[in-house]
Amino acid sequence: MAKKKGKKAAEKQAAQSPAAGLKGKIKEFVEFFEESKVEIKKVVWPTRKETVTTCVAVLVVSVVIALYLGVVDLALSKIVEAILS
């Protein structure tokens, strides 16, 4: 942790100096994308089969919940209608 704080403090001082300006921002921008590229390589992407299976599961659950909420809404509507009439 001490190394991270030291590094952050050094970066903060460098960012506050007048020489950091546009060149410093461009350097940070390039460094960000280089680090992002390294992180993207670590990602384990799902296979096509896993993706299709997950999509089907989401669709089925969505339909089941929609039907349940529709039935509950209809029942409550009928109850309120009976009370008010």
Please report, for the chain, the start and end positions of each structural domain, with discontinuous segments joined by +.
Answer: 1-43, 44-85
d(CA 9, CA 67): 56
d(CA 28, CA 34): 10
What does pLDDT average to over the chain?
A: 86
pLDDT score for 22: 87
Question: Residue 68 half-sphere exposure, CB side, CA atoms within 13 Å?
Answer: 6
Please check the confidence at residue 1 and state whether its pLDDT lies above 50. no
Structure tokens at 58: 């989401």
Please check the confidence at residue 43 and state whether its pLDDT lies above 80. yes
pLDDT score for 85: 87
pTM: 0.54
Q: What is the mean pLDDT of residues 36-42?
A: 94
- Per-residue exposure over 17-52, b if at least 16 CB sit within 10 Å of its own CB, e if not: eeeeeeeeeeeeeeeeeeeeeeeeeeeeeeeeeeee
